[in-house]
Amino acid sequence: MSKLHQDIQCLPLSVRLGFISVSLLTIYIVQLQIRFFTNDHYHKIASMSLYVIVGASMLCLVAWDQVRIPFMFMYSCFFKRIGHHGNDQQSRLESFYQDQAKIYDDSRGALLRGRKTMLKLCAAQLKEQIATGMMNKRPIWIDLGGGTGWNIETMNDSFPIDQFEQVILVDLTPSLCEVARERFANKGWKNVTVLCQDAASFQMPGLEGTLEGRVGLITVSYALSMMDYYYPVVDRIQSLLSPEGIVGVVDFYVSGRTNAPAEKWSPQQNRQCNWFTRHFWQAWFELDHINLTPGRRDYLEYKFGTIKSLNRRNHFIVPYLIQMPYYIWLGCSPARQNELSSLMEIPDDTDSVASGISNLSSFNSANSLLASRRRSSFSYQNKQWRLDYNPALACHTQFRSYIYAFTWEDPRVDLEYLNLSKDDVMFVITSAGDNALEYALQAQPKRIHCIDMNPCQNHLLELKLAGITCLEYTDFWRMFGDGNHPHFSTLLHDIISPHLSSYAFQYWSHNKDRFSYRFYKTGYSGLALSILEWWIRMQGLGKDIDAMTNATTIEEQTAIWNTKIRPAIFSPMIQKVLHNPMFMWNALGVPVNQMNMFLKECTTQEYIENTLDPIPSHSLFSNDQYFYYLCLKQRYSKNSCPSYLTKEGFEKLKSSGALQSFRLHTQSILDALRSMSDGYLTRLVVMDHMDWFDPESCQELNEEIMEMKRALQSGGQVYWRSAGTKPWYNTLFVKHGFKVEPLGIRQPGKAIDRVNMYASFYRAVKP
Q: Residues 661-674: pLDDT tens digits?
A: 999 999 999 999 99
Give the pLDDT band (50/70/90) at residue 344. very low
Calculate helix-pair angle for 592-599, 604-612, nearest 10 degrees.
Answer: 90
Band (pLDDT 50/70/90 cuts) for residue 34 is: low
Asked if 447 and 660 count as a contact pair (C-beta separation under 8 A), the reply is no
Q: Give the pLDDT score at 56.
A: 58
pLDDT band at 414 (very low <50, low <70, confident <90, very high): very high
Which of 332-346, 426-440, 634-648 bottoms out in mean pLDDT, i.e. has the lowest? 332-346
Helix segments in 322-407, DSSP class H: 339-345, 350-359, 366-375, 394-397
C-alpha torsion angle, residues 143, 147, 152, 157 (rounded to 10): -130
Q: How confident is the model at residue 359 (pLDDT cuts 50, 70, 90)?
A: very low
Would you place residue 366 in the very low, low, confident or very high pLDDT band (cuts 50, 70, 90)? very low
Band the pLDDT of 365: cuts 50, 70, 90: very low
Angle CA 682–684–686, to nearest 5: 180
The answer, yes or no, to whether residue 369 has pLDDT greater than 50, is no
More confident residue, 431 or 101: 431
**Ramachandran sector of residue 145 (left: φ over 0; alpha: ψ -120 to 50; beta: rest):** left
Higher-confidence position of 38 and 754? 754
Q: Of 12-16, 38-42, 146-150, where does mean pLDDT reach its minimum?
A: 12-16
**Tell me, what's the pLDDT at 268?**
82
Q: Which amino acid is at 755?
A: V
Tell me the pLDDT band of 574, cut-offs 50, 70 and 90.
Answer: low
Torsions phi, psi for 144 (to 5 deg): -80, 135
Cβ atoms of residues 522 and 401 within 8 Å:
yes
> Considering only 260-274, 299-313, 397-411, which range has the smallest mean pLDDT?
260-274
pLDDT at 105: 81
What pLDDT is stored for residue 430 in this prediction?
96
Three-state DSSP class for 722? strand
The predicted model gives 75-84 an average pLDDT of: 56
Give the C-alpha distances (Å, rounded to integers) separating 513 from 222, 473, 509, 587, 633.
27, 21, 9, 20, 20
Please list the residue range(s) of the chain that carry CATH number 3.40.50.150.
103-340
Residue 240 reports pLDDT greater than 50: yes
Segment among 22-36, 482-496, 643-657 with least mean pLDDT: 22-36
The H-or-E segment that residue 284 falls in is helix 275-286
Q: Are 98 and 60 spatial neighbours (Cβ–Cβ below 8 Å)?
A: no
Q: At residue 69, does pLDDT exceed 80?
A: no
The per-residue pLDDT for 384 is 85
Rounded to an integer, the average pLDDT of 131-137 is 87
Instruction: Kindly indicate the confidence band of residue 74, based on its pLDDT and cuts at 50, 70 and 90.
Output: low
Once rounded to an integer, what is the mean pLDDT over residues 210-238?
Answer: 93
Residue with more model confidence, 632 or 105? 632
| 282 vs 290: CA distance, rounded Å | 8
Mean pLDDT of 688-712: 94
Band of the pLDDT at 349, cuts 50, 70, 90? low
Average pLDDT on 392-403 reads 88
Does pLDDT of 292 surpass 80? yes
Is the pLDDT reported for residue 357 higher than 50? no
Residues 6+ apart with CB under 8 A from 85: 91, 92, 95
Instruction: Select from 3.40.50.280, 3.30.930.10, 3.40.50.150, 2.60.40.10 the CATH code of 103-340.
Output: 3.40.50.150
Of how many residues is the chain composed? 767
Q: With contact defined as beta carbons under 8 Å apart, do 254 and 277 qualify? A: yes
Angle at 161 between CA 158 and CA 167, to 5 degrees: 125
Q: Which of 36-40, 129-133, 178-182, 226-230 has the highest mean pLDDT?
A: 178-182
Is the pLDDT score of 503 beyond 50? yes
User: Mean per-residue pLDDT for 548-565?
Assistant: 95
Task: Place 104 in a pLDDT band, splitting at 50, 70 and 90.
Answer: confident
Instruction: Output 382 or 54, whichever has higher pLDDT.
Output: 382
C-alpha to C-alpha distance for 512 and 147, rounded to whole angstroms: 31
pLDDT winner (highest mean) among 136-140, 210-214, 446-450: 446-450
Q: What is the structure's pLDDT at 337?
A: 62
Of 593, 620, 400, 600, which Cα lies nearest the Cα of 514?
400
| Per-residue pLDDT at 98 | 81
Percent residues over pLDDT 70 in the chain: 81
**Whether the predicted pLDDT of 583 surpasses 90:** no
pLDDT at 207: 66
Helix ranges restricted to H, 38-167: 40-62, 64-74, 89-97, 104-108, 115-131, 150-155
For residue 492, the model assigns a pLDDT of 97
Residue 524 has pLDDT above 90, yes or no: no
Per-residue pLDDT at 84 exceeds 50: yes
Q: What is the mean pLDDT of the chain?
A: 85
pTM of the model: 0.86
